[in-house]
A and B are shown apart, each in its own frame.
Chain A
Amino acid sequence: MKPTVSRNPPDESGGEGRGANFARMENAILGLFLGLVGAGAIAEGLSLPVGSAMRMGPGYFPILIGGVLVVLGLAIALLPSRHVAAAWERADLARGAVDVLAVILAVTSFGFLVERLGLVTSIVAAVFISTAPIPAMSLRERFVLAICLAAGSYLIFVYALGVSMPGFTFNW
C-alpha cells in the first residue's frame, strides 16, 4: 500500500550516471524475470490442448498472456528509464538480506513445526527467529513475548474459534 522501501533516498550527489546504472540494472533484472515467466507460460500452454479462438483450449489463455508478458519484459529491460535508482550499498544489502531471511524463515519454520511439535513450539520458534535481527532485545523479553503470544493465540484461535491445531504434540 505504501511506497516505503527501507533504502537510501536516490543518490543525487553521486551523479546521475551511477543512479542510471542502478536503474538500468533493476530494469534488466525485472525484464529478465518477467520474460522468463512469460516464456515458461508459453511452454506450459503449448504442452496443453491449445484449441482455436472459437474453441479455446486450456492452453490458449496462458500462451496469450505469456506472450504479452514477454513483450512487457522486453520493454522494461530495453526502454530508456526515467528514474534515478537508489545506489545499492553493500552494508544495506547485507542488513536487508538478514531481515528478509529472518522474517521468511520465521514463517517457514512455523509451517514446518506446527503439525510436528504443535502451536506453542512453533510460536516460540517464530518469535525467536524473527526478532533475531534486533540486538537490543533481551533473551527474557523475547521469551516473555513468545509465551504471551502462544497463550493468547491458543485462547483465541484454538479455544474460541476452534481452529484444529494441537497446542503441543510430537509428530516428527
Chain B
Amino acid sequence: MLENLVSGLAFALSMDALIYCAIGVTLGTFIGMLPGIGPMAAIAMLVPLTYYVDPAVGIIMLAGIYYGAAYGGSTASILLNLPGTANTAITCLDGYPMTQQGRAGIALFMTTIASFFGSICGLVILVGFAPSLSTAVLAFGSPEYFSLVLLGLLASALAATDYPLRAVAMIVLGLLLGSVGADQNTGITRFTFDSPYLYDGFTLVAFAVGLFGIPEIISNVRTPPSRIGAKSIRLSAMLPTREDWRRSWLPMIRGTSIGAVLGALPGTGGTLATILSYSTEKRVSRRPEEFGNGAIEGVTGPESANNAAIQTAFIPTLTLGIPGDAVMALIVATLMIHGIQPGPLLVSQHPTVFWGLAASFLVGNVLLLILNIPLIGLWIRILSIPYKYLFPAIIVFVCIGAFSINTSPFDIYMVSFFGALGYGLRLLRCPPAPLLMGLILGPMLEVHLRRALQIANGDPLVFVERPISAAFLMVCVALIAAAIVRRRKPGRTFGEAKA
C-alpha cells in the first residue's frame, strides 16, 4: 500500500496534475466564497475541460473544486453571514458573531486549520478503507446493487429535506429522464422524438449546468448576493490565542469522527454531519449559552466534520460506484465518460486514478492552507468584483462549455431548456440534487433490476431473499417511515383545516 501511495504522490506532484489541482482548489475557493454559484454548477461547467487532459488529472481538478469550495464557503459564512455552500451554513451561526466581535481573522484561521485537520483524517480513512472495501463488495450481484442504488437515492434525497415527497418525486423524474435515449439492451430509442441528438440521452453537462447554474443566475440578476466590503485582514490579527486552541482541539476530533462516518455512508454527506457536530458541541459544552454568540467550538467542530465527510464520501463513490450526493454523482459520471467504471475494480484496474486522486487531496489541502491563510487578503479584494460583471461572464462560460462537448449548439439549447425547468421546479420548492442523482443512477438501476429479475426468473422476491439486499431494502423502508413520521409531527399548520 505504501508503494502505491508513493507512486500516487509522484503522479499528484507531476506538472500536469499539480497545475490542474491548483486550478481546481483556487477556483473552488473562489466559487465557494461567492454566494451565488455553488460548487455543483462550477464542476458541471468544467467537465468539458477534462476532455482535453488525462482523466485522472481531470478528476483531480473537479475534486479540487469540491473541497476547495468547502474552504471558501466557510469564508463567506464567517465574513458575510451568507453560506457560500449548503455545507457551511452552520458556520454562520458562530462564525459571523466572531466577525462582529472583531475576531474574523481568528475565525478564518481556526476554520482553515479545522478543515485541514478534518480533510487529512478523512483522507487517511479513505486510503485505509477503500481498497479493502473494494474486495468485500466484489461479491455483490445485481440484486445487491439494485437495492444499494435505491438506498443511495433515497438516503441522499431524504437526509436533510423539508419536502420529502417532493424529493422522492424528483428522484423518480430523474430516473425517467435518465431512460431517454437508446435502450441499453436492444438499442431501441425511447423518448427521443426521432431526434438523433437524444440517441445517447441528455448531455449530462448541459443538464447539470441548466439545473444548478442557470436558476442561481436568474435569482441573482437583480438582487446580487451581498459581498465582502473593503475589509482587510492582516496576518497578525489571524493568530488565535492559546485559549482558542485549547477550546478547539476536542471539537475538531469529535467533528472529524462524525463527519468521517456520515460521509462514508451512501447518501448522507456533509450537511447532516455539520448539523450533528454543532448540536453535539452545544450539548457537551460547559458554556452552551455562548453558542450563537461566537463560540469557537461552533466553528471548528462543524468545519472539520464537513471536510472529513467530503473526503470519506469518495469511499462509496469510488469503490461502489454509488455517489453520496449530486457532486459525487457528477464525478462518477465524468469518470464513466472517460471510460473508467467506478466500482470494486477501480482500485486495482486504475491505480493511477485512485492513488493519484488520494494523493492529490493531500497536495490540494496543503495548497488550500496557503490560499486561505497568507493569501486571504487577496481573495477579499477579488471578491469585490460586482455581480453585474460576473454573471454575464458565467453565462458566456456556460454556453462555451456546453457547446464544446459535442461542438453543437443543441447542447446550448438544452441548457436553456433545463435552466427554465430548473427555475420552475425551484419556485415550486423542488430540490434539484435528487433529480440529477436519479438521472445519473437511472441506467444503473434499470440494468440491475433487469439482470436480477432475469436470473430469478421474474420473481421479485429475489431482492428480499438475498440477505445483504434485504438489509439495504430494510434501511430504505426505515428511511421512508422516518420521513412519514416527521411529516405527521407538529409543524402541520393548516393540514387539518383542509381535511
Contact = CB atoms under 8 A, between A and B. Distances in A.
Interface of A: 1-7, 16-17, 20, 24, 26, 29-30, 34, 37-38, 41, 44-45, 48-49, 52-62, 65-66, 68-69, 72-73, 75-76, 79-84, 95, 99-100, 102-104, 106-108, 110-112, 114-115, 119, 122-123, 126-127, 130-131, 133-134, 136-137, 145-146, 149, 153, 157, 161-165
B498 A20 contact: yes
B491 interface: yes
B499 A114 contact: no
B165 A72 contact: yes
A137 B409 CA distance: 29
Interface in B151-191: 162, 165-166, 168-169, 172-173, 175-176, 179, 183, 185-186, 188, 190-191
A53 B462 CA distance: 12
Given A29-B428, A102-B221, A110 B458 contact: no
Given A104-B420, A111-B416, A65 B179 contact: yes
Contact of B399 (A3, A55, A61, A122): A122
Contact of B49 (A80, A106, A161): A161
Interface string B214-239: 10111111110000000000000000
Given A61-B449, A79-B165, A165 B403 contact: yes
Interface in B388-407: 388-389, 391-393, 395-400, 403-404, 407
B176 to A, nearest CB: 5
B497 A20 contact: yes
The 9 closest A-B pairs by CB, nearest first: A111-B412, A1-B38, A54-B458, A80-B495, A58-B183, A53-B458, A111-B409, A110-B399, A72-B169
B495 A49 contact: no
For chain B, give the interface size range.
35 or more
Nearest to A165: B403
B283 interface: no
A76 B165 contact: yes
A115 B406 CA distance: 13
Contacts of A149: 392-393, 396
Contacts of B83: 2
A134 B165 contact: no
B188 A137 contact: no
Given A41-B176, A58-B186, A69-B169, A103 B221 contact: yes
Contacts, number: 227
B66 to A, nearest CB: 12
A106 B214 CA distance: 11
B331 interface: no
5 contacts: A24-B498, A99-B222, A103-B395, A104-B419, A137-B388
B219 A95 contact: no
B214 A1 contact: no
B52 A110 contact: no
Contacts of B165: 72, 75-76, 79
A119 B433 CA distance: 32
Given A111-B399, A130-B391, A153-B397, A61 B419 contact: no
A130 B221 CA distance: 9
B297 to A, nearest CB: 25
A107 B404 contact: no
Contacts of A45: 190
A106 B4 CA distance: 48
A5 B185 contact: no
B168 A72 contact: yes
B182 to A, nearest CB: 9
B214 A127 contact: no
B72 to A, nearest CB: 13
